[in-house]
Amino acid sequence: MSGLFGGAIEALRQASAFALRRHEILAENVANADTPGFRAHDLSFASELDLARLVQSRPDPVSELDVRIVDAPDGPARPDGNDVDIDRQMVRLTQNAIYHNVVVHLLNARFNALKSAIQGR
């Protein structure tokens, strides 16, 4: 996608989708914090480079991000085979919500810039 809504806006759209998807994964961990044998997951970018490119939102067309669900143990598994640490998960959940708010804020800023350009004032 390019043109008016390409570049930064497209990158931010993907970042917002990433945050919502990551929330699902983290909510799964929190829901299963007491389930025997459950392993914690997380959603991650395939590489930090993707993240850096996203943040800088280079003008070149942004390809669909390569995100994947990975095992993310919070430490050694408990005797019941569960490795979710509820405190760490809650911190991630909060971080992710704040990250999403930042992304929405930036998106709004871009839209407002477009709006002023269109209205010429």
Partner 1 sequence: MPHGALSISASALSAQRTRLNVIAENLANANTTRTEAGGPYHRRVVRLESEAPPFASLLPGEPQLRGVRVGAVTAVPETRRQYMPGHPDADPEGYVEMPNVNPVLEMAEMMAATRAYEANVTAIQALKGMAQKALELGR
Binding residues vs partner 1 (CB under 8 A): 16, 19-21, 23-28, 30-36, 38, 69, 86, 89-90, 93-94, 96-97, 100-101, 104, 107-108, 111
Residues 6+ apart with CB under 8 A from 10: 1, 61, 62
Taking the C-alpha atoms of residue 18 and residue 15, their distance in angstroms, rounded to an integer, is: 5
User: Which residue, 47 or 101, has its beta carbon nearer to partner 1?
Assistant: 101
Helix (H) or strand (E) holding 120: none
User: Least distance from C-beta 39 to partner 1, angstroms?
Assistant: 10
User: Which residue, 8 or 25, has its beta carbon nearer to partner 1?
Assistant: 25
User: Least distance from C-beta 71 to partner 1, angstroms?
Assistant: 12
Rounded to 5 degrees, what are φ and ψ at 2? -145, -170
User: Least distance from C-beta 99 to partner 1, angstroms?
Assistant: 10
User: Least distance from C-beta 90 to partner 1, angstroms?
Assistant: 6
User: Which residue, 11 or 100, has its beta carbon nearer to partner 1?
Assistant: 100
For the record, the structure tokens of 45 come out as 């970018």
User: Which residue, 52 or 91, has its beta carbon nearer to partner 1?
Assistant: 91
Helix (H) or strand (E) holding 35: none
Residues 6+ apart with CB under 8 A from 14: 54, 62, 64, 65
